[in-house]
Amino acid sequence: MATIDDVFKAYDIRGIYGEQIDEDLAWAVGHATSQFLRTKLSGYERGQSSVNRVVVGRDMRPHSEPLTAALIEGISCSGATCVDIGMCDTPMIYFA
């Protein structure tokens, strides 16, 4: 599997599916991202499920669905609610 420097770019995570990126990496990224975002909340907000929400979207590649499922599982395991908006383009994710 690839190192973090191989797949983490300036604004996204990119790599070859099955060689550099797989479901285990997607789960770990989801879990870590959710934990990081929770540290940005303070006080009462931490317990509000409406605040602990992460939006996830994917592109049309066949391997996007299993990667998305693993990402969502990682997010959910750390206590956040995940909103899956399905197949979309990058501007939709930025807007969400």
> Tens digit of pLDDT for each residue in 38-93?
888 766 666 666 677 889 999 999 999 999 999 999 999 988 889 999 999 988 88
Does domain 4-95 correspond to CATH entry 3.40.50.12780?
no
What confidence score (pLDDT) does residue 78 get?
A: 86
Q: State pTM to two decimals.
A: 0.86
Q: 70-89 burial string, b = 16+ CB within 10 Å, else e?
A: bbbebbeebebebeeeeebe
C-alpha span between 96 and 90 (Å, rounded): 10
Report which residue type is found at 79.
G
Task: State the alpha helices, DSSP H only, in 1-96.
Answer: 4-7, 23-39, 64-77, 90-95
